[in-house]
Every structure is written in C-alpha cells, then in structure tokens.
Amino acid sequence: MIREALDLVMDNIQIYRMLDAGPVREQLVKSLGGLLLEFGGLVIVLALCMGVFMYFMRQTIIVMSRLIEYDLRKLIFQKFESLSVEFYKRSNTGDLMARISEDVSKVRMYIGPAILYGINLVSLFILAISSMVNVSLELTLYALAPLPFLSISIYYVSSLINKKSTKIQKQLGYLNTIVQEVFSGIRVVKSYTQEAAIGGNFEVQSEDYKQKSMELARVNAFFYPLMLLLVGASTIITVFMGGRMVLEGKISPGNIAEFVIYVNMLTWPVTAIGWVASIIQQAAVSQRRINEILLEEPSIQEIKEPYRAPIQGDISFENVSFVYPDSGIEALKGVDFELKAGQKMAIIGRTGGGKTTIAELLLRNYDVQSGRIRIDGVDIKDFSTQHLRSALGYVPQDSFLFSDTISANVAFGNPDASQKEIEQYCQYAAIHQDILELPEGYDTVVGERGVTLSGGQKQRISIARALIKRPKLVILDDCLSAVDTKTEQSILGFFESEFAGKTTIIITHRIYNLLEFDHILVLDDGRIVESGKHAELLAQGGYYAELFQKQSLEKEAE
C-alpha cells in the first residue's frame, strides 16, 4: 500500500513539474489528493484489522496460558496434600513454595507469551521476508544483515538479565527469611538483646541485594539502546543500498519506503527470538522442578481395596520396630501391647523414649518396618488413610492453631458442628471460661493475625478440636503439660464420663491417680521397660514407682 502510494506521488510529481499552472495541473493535484486519501484510509483500516486480530490472538493464547497455570497449580497443590509427613520433614519449605509459585509462573510464560510471540515471529517472518524477496533479493540480504546480531545480543543480554534476576530473587528470599525469623522469634531476640547484631546482618544482606539490583539495572539499561542501534543500522543500510539501486533503476523509491517498514516490523520478533529462547530455557528448568514433585510417590501407599467397616477401637502392636527413615534413629524396638475398645492406656517415660512415635505410627504418618499394627484385628495398612484418620482424634504435642477465630479452629475437627456444640466441647476441654474472657469471645482471631494465647490455652483448644470429631480413638500427646493440676483433673473427668466408651491413649510424664488406667506402659529408649496397672507397677518398684513417689512428694509440697 505504502509503496504504491509513494510511487504514485513520485510519478505524478514529475508530471506536475512538466505542466504549467492551469486547470489541468489543478485537476491533477485534486485527483492525486483524493487517491492518497484513499490510500491513507486503507492503511488505517488495515491497522485496525491488525489490532482486532492481535486482540483475539492474545485473548486465545494468554487466556489459555492462565487456565493452564491454574490447573497446574491446583495439580501441584493436590500432590502436596497427598504427600506424607516424611516428605515434608526432608524438604525445605521455601523451596516447596517456590515450586508452586515462581516455577509455575515461569512455565506459564512459556505456554503463554513465548508461544504467542513464537507464532507471531514465524508468520511475520514468512510474510515480510517473502514480500521483500519478491522486490529484491539483494536489498533483502542487506536489510536483514544486522538482525542476527540483534537476536544473538538480545539472547545474551536476556540470559544475563535472567541470571542476575535469579540471584536477586534468591537474595530477596534470604532477606524474607531473616525478617520472618526475627518476627516469629522476637521475644528471644529482645530478651537476649540481639537487635543490633541481627540488624547488622540484615544491613549486610540488604547491601548485597542492592549491589545485585544495581548490576541488573546496568545490564537492563543496555537492552533498549542496543536494539535501537541495530535497527537503526539496518534502516541506514536499506536507505543507502536501496538508494543506489533506485539510481541504477533496479527498484522504485516506494520499495525503499516499504523496506524500511518491513525492517521495523521485523525488529520486535527478532528481538523476541532471544527473549523467547531464554524463557524456554527457564521454563524447562522449572518444569523439571515441578515434575520432581508430580512424580514424587507418597511414602504411604493406599491399598486398592481398603477395608471399610467402621472402626471400633481395638488396638494391638505386635513386635513393632521402627527406624525414622531420615535420621536412621531406631525409635521403637519390639513394642508389643494390646488395648481393647474402650480401654484407657497411659504411656510414660523419658523424652526421646518413643512415645510420640507410637502416635505417629497409629496415624500412619509412617509405615512400620517390622512387626504389625492392627486396629480391630485388621492391619492398619488395609484401611484407607482417610478412613483410619477420621476415626482418630489426635492432639499433638505442639498444638498448632490456624490464624482464624476460635470457633473456626474448634470446628476444624467437625465443620458441621453448631456453635452450641463448639461451646459444649470447649467446656469439656476446660477452656470455655478462658474464651469468654477474651475481647471477642469465640470470634477472637488467634495466631499471627490475632491474640496470642498461652501454651495451655492452645493445648486445650486443640483438645476441643480433636474431641468434637467424636472419634472412636483418642490420642493425647503430652498435651496437658502446660495445664495446672485442677484443670487437668476436670479434663480427665470428661474422659471418664462423656468419653467413657472411647479407646484413649494418654501420653504424659505426669502420673494421674484420677483415672483408673487399664494399662500403663513405661517406654525407655524405644523399649517397653515396664507395663501393667498402677498397683502392679508400684509393686515392681521401678521407674514408675520412683516417679510416682517423686510426684507425690511434690504434691504434698503444694
């Protein structure tokens, strides 16, 4: 269009010069003006068409890439949820977060923009270069000569930019970790008056971040001028060589104009080659990291046809030995015991004795290496983990509450529970009164965004959360340690009344004389060293008897 318009003007200018002023010349100017206006209108219409199609192309491809990103992220999250506790023990949280956020974004950049510009590039290349070759192969070669340099240097510069950005990302991640640690450990930092030392470290790391960012800014500053330089060179060569060819009569001046436009049209795709290549490289690395997660097998395998009967609560450990896969520590050695549905058992013993490990194995967070754990006579591996865990009410040693209201935290155990039930269970867990004293009662937000509760309060809320599930089997892992004796007795009273029919395992290092335990295990270094009922154990005069005596003395002292 532009070539035709320009050639038309050039030809007519010569005619115009030959004519004298008069009606013919006026007529020529008028008709030429009309024609040029038509050309102008056509160019605008074509530009609008280009815009419309560009819009649809972006809509199709970018929207598609967002949908794939969404699916991929969902898939990874589901995978994360299916992986076992053991996986999280050996993985770094920051790294896992990066895989579901940054890596997914990088893959999206590939399936979105990289493919978009790739298609754009190929089609523009074919169209523009074939039109150029049609006019003159020689001029085409001249005009395109600087473009490979453009691609290569942009590739080089973008790789450099990516490398520097990755370093900056990492440093930023490190800065975030420092800040997060200081926030969560602020009490320790303050009580050891370490503000200055930590501030100093933060400053050093921030300085490093600044240096790296400035390096990136310097490289970035090269990008645009480099592109302009090479495009400019291409335009100058086209005009110079094209001019000579016009003089030789090989092409028309309109061809030069059209070439300059082609060169400009090709600039962006040629720049994009380098950019796209570096996105593809990064996406490949990211996809590999994502695949590592997607291909990770949960260490707890679900059985194909699980046993479905409702769980009653008989438990038996048959010669169970267990070694933690990551540390190689043998936490249980030939543990053997049996507990009938509805019975109460206490496990006591020194720290590191293997008490928590028994709970972890019952929950099937790990699989035993030798021996067998049965519930209702069925190997726990024959239940689905879903079925098994829904029958278990577990209160872990370190209570974790979500940053949400107290009601929501308790209802986590049973989302259908009414407010009345929630309050009922909080009464059982002897926390109701404490909650009412909080500024917004049950609607008080706890944790990061809200009030800080004491250790004992948190323990009791997590007890309420576990009990509201109405599980068949309750395991309390040392979760009365931060509770005073009176409160403790009121909670244990509940187990004797409301929860009398449930199998209960209480892990502790205090001896309760309130509960008539059916079974007491003393664990030491992964072995059962004493077992039996309270009276039997006292008669044995071992660890249990010693502990009981010590605690009785303490009680008298109170």
Ligand X SMILES: Nc1ncnc2c1ncn2[C@@H]1O[C@H](COP(=O)(O)OP(=O)(O)O)[C@@H](O)[C@H]1O
Q: Of 153, 271, 356, 531, which lies in the binding site for Mg ion, with binding defined by CB under 5 A?
A: 356
Task: Give the residue at shortest CB distance from Mg ion.
Answer: 356
Q: Could you tell me if 176 and 97 are in contact, meaning their C-beta atoms sit under 8 angstroms apart?
A: no
State which residue, 107 or 332, has the beta carbon closest to ligand X: 332
The CA-atom distances, in angstroms, between 479 and each of 109, 378, 402, 436, 461 are: 48, 29, 18, 22, 11
User: Which listed option, ligand X, Mg ion, none, makes contact with residue 312 (CB within 5 to 8 Å by class)?
Assistant: none
282 sits near Mg ion (criterion: CB under 5 A): no
Contact set for ligand X, span 78-117 (CB under 6 A):
89
State which residue, 136 or 356, has the beta carbon closest to Mg ion: 356
Q: 309: Cβ–Cβ under 8 A, 6 or more apart, which residues?
A: 376
Residue 356 beta carbon to Mg ion: minimum distance, rounded to whole angstroms: 3
Residue 420 beta carbon to ligand X: minimum distance, rounded to whole angstroms: 36
Instruction: Write the binding mask 316 to 355 for Mg ion: x where contact by CB under 5 A, - elsewhere.
Output: ---------------------------------------x
Residue 222 CB neighbour total at 10 angstroms: 15
Residue 360 beta carbon to Mg ion: minimum distance, rounded to whole angstroms: 9
Where do runs of H (alpha helix) occur along 19-146? 23-82, 85-90, 93-100, 102-109, 115-135, 137-144
The end-to-end CA distance of the chain, in Å, is 101
Percent of the chain that is helix, strand, coil (3-state, to 5): 65, 10, 25
Contact set for ligand X, span 311-330 (CB under 6 A):
324, 326-327, 329
State which residue, 150 or 346, has the beta carbon closest to Mg ion: 346
User: Which listed option, Mg ion, ligand X, none, makes contact with residue 267 (CB within 5 to 8 Å by class)?
Assistant: none
- Tell me the window of 208-216, 287-295, 350-358, 408-416 that interacts with ligand X (CB under 6 A): 350-358
What DSSP designation does 308 have? -
Q: How many residues bind ligand X (CB under 6 A)?
A: 14
357 sits near Mg ion (criterion: CB under 5 A): no
Residue 346 beta carbon to ligand X: minimum distance, rounded to whole angstroms: 13
355 sits near ligand X (criterion: CB under 6 A): yes
Q: Of 253, 334, 342, 352, which lies in the binding site for ligand X, with binding defined by CB under 6 A?
A: 352
Contact set for Mg ion, span 390-419 (CB under 5 A):
397
User: Which listed option, Mg ion, ligand X, none, makes contact with residue 352 (CB within 5 to 8 Å by class)?
Assistant: ligand X
Q: Could you tell me if 505 and 359 are in contact, meaning their C-beta atoms sit under 8 angstroms apart?
A: yes
State which residue, 271 or 356, has the beta carbon closest to ligand X: 356
Residue 371 beta carbon to ligand X: minimum distance, rounded to whole angstroms: 16
CA 182 – CA 205 distance, rounded (Å): 14
User: Which listed option, Mg ion, ligand X, none, makes contact with residue 329 (CB within 5 to 8 Å by class)?
Assistant: ligand X
Q: Could you tell me if 383 and 375 are in contact, meaning their C-beta atoms sit under 8 angstroms apart?
A: yes
Residue type, 447: G
Residue 384 CB neighbour total at 10 angstroms: 15
Residue 478 beta carbon to Mg ion: minimum distance, rounded to whole angstroms: 6
Q: Of 154, 257, 331, 528, which lies in the binding site for ligand X, with binding defined by CB under 6 A?
A: 331
User: Which listed option, ligand X, Mg ion, none, makes contact with residue 255 (CB within 5 to 8 Å by class)?
Assistant: none
Residue 403 beta carbon to ligand X: minimum distance, rounded to whole angstroms: 25
Quote the tokens at residue 466: 């576990």
The residue length of the chain stands at 558
| Three state DSSP letters for 380-449 | HHHCCHHHHHHCEEEECCCCCCCCCEHHHHHHCCCCCCCHHHHHHHHHHCCCHHHHHCCCCHHHCEEHHH
Q: Of 519, 513, 506, 445, nearest to 475 (Cα)? A: 506
Q: Could you tell me if 518 and 313 are in contact, meaning their C-beta atoms sit under 8 angstroms apart?
A: no
Which residue ranges make up the site for Mg ion (CB under 5 A)? 355-356, 397
Which residue ranges make up the site for ligand X (CB under 6 A)? 89, 324, 326-327, 329, 331, 349, 351-357
